[in-house]
Amino acid sequence: MSIGRICLRDVHLADVDERVVGVAARMAKRNVGTLVVLDAEKRPQGIVTDRDLVVRVLAAGRDPQATRVGEVMSPAPHVIAESAPIEEALARMRAGGFRRLPVVDAAERLVGIVSLDDVLGLLAEEMVQVGGLLARETPQPGR
């Protein structure tokens, strides 16, 4: 199964010149922990997480009213093609130590985002289905 089939297509965005205080408020209002920053061609140029805001702004003593997203985002985020298999996404997440990947089309434009939780949820559903199949096919003693 490809990442394009399970990724979330409604991706929350931020602008490189936005103030961090506004981004943090929007993240809280929308209950999201990640925003993707795009270039003019709609290609991911950065990613900012709630952890970035804590570590790179608050813990560093920076002023959230004055700090811009471009100063604290992780630039050039790792991305994954929507046609890539789930196993590839898991391998990239494991190798890079991150939980989310922007999903891109053949022109590397943003089409979605996939999280480790999305993949684990899918795998859990499939395991339940396999368990149900095995239970139906396993002979029961006394029957």
For the chain, domain boundaries: 3-115
Per-residue confidence in pLDDT tens, the chain, 143 aa: 889 988 999 999 999 999 999 999 999 999 999 999 999 999 999 999 999 999 999 999 999 999 999 999 999 999 999 999 999 999 999 999 989 999 999 999 999 999 988 888 877 777 787 777 777 777 777 65
Tokens of 15: 């602008």
The pTM of the full predicted model, rounded to 2 decimals, is: 0.84
Q: Tell me which CATH homologous superfamily contains domain 3-115.
A: CBS-domain (3.10.580.10)
SS3 112: strand
Distance from chain centroid for Cα 131? 29
